[in-house]
């Protein structure tokens, strides 16, 4: 039976997926499975984990600095103020994944998070309030997380609270009225079935 661990480029043992490429080593050691309890950090992960669909997580990690620059370091208030010109600017940015629906969903989610702030609440509080206990982190995961359970809860909690958090594959029209795509593909924010067992709390 093959060992669930493997040595990385520095000789340190890691989960096999974490040692599979240098791009994953830092993520495995410093971020995967560690708590994320601030709104900026949670919003960043909501955005990044909404973009892979059809792409590898490694591709997103490689573009992460570009995403941070494009989305104002994921400052909720700043992204919430983005308008049509910003959407077009982002669509022209070759450093990120250029997908109109995902970009618009990221902006809509910033506006929903800003609504929480306006009501004296936070995205982090919403996630904690809706958490049903921390998922166990598996030391034998075959692949890095694609959908983070904390982000999954953020989407579930927001919808349960009546906030307009949007999935990347929704057909976005405006902040209040949205017609959902009839046949979305991939794992979507707010739906179950994510394989990731990284813990946020």
C-alpha to C-alpha distances, 113 to 11, 28, 58, 181, nearest whole angstrom = 42, 28, 27, 22
Residues 6+ apart with CB under 8 A from 150: 36, 42, 45, 127, 131, 199, 200, 201
Question: Is residue 32 annotated as part of the catalytic site, yes or no?
Answer: no
Question: Is residue 43 annotated as part of the catalytic site, yes or no?
Answer: no
How many whole angstroms separate alpha carbon 196 and alpha carbon 160?
22
The catalytically annotated residue of 24, 32, 43, 57 is 57
The catalytically annotated residue of 27, 32, 44, 104 is 27
Question: Is residue 24 annotated as part of the catalytic site, yes or no?
Answer: no
The catalytically annotated residue of 17, 43, 44, 49 is 49
Q: Where in the sequence numbering do the catalytic residues fall?
A: 27, 49, 57
């Amino acid at each position: 039976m093959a060992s669930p661990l493997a040595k990385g480029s520095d000789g340190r043992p890691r989960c096999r997926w974490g040692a599979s490429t240098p791009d994953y080593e830092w993520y495995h050691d410093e971020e995967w499975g560690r708590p994320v309890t601030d709104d900026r950090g949670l919003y960043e992960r909501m955005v990044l984990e909404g973009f892979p669909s059809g792409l590898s997580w490694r591709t997103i990690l490689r573009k992460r600095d570009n995403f941070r620059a494009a989305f104002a370091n994921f400052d909720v208030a700043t992204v919430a103020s983005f308008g049509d010109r910003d959407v077009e600017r982002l669509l022209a940015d070759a450093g990120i994944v250029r997908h109109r629906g995902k970009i618009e969903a990221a902006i809509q989610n910033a506006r929903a998070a800003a609504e929480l702030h306006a009501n004296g609440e936070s995205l982090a509080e919403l996630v904690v309030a809706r958490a049903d206990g921390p998922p166990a982190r598996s030391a034998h995961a075959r692949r890095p997380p694609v959908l983070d359970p904390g982000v999954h809860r953020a989407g579930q909690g927001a919808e349960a609270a009546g906030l307009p958090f949007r999935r990347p594959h929704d057909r976005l029209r405006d902040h209040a009225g949205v017609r959902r795509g009839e046949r979305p593909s991939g794992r979507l924010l707010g739906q179950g079935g994510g394989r990731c067992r990284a813990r946020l709390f």
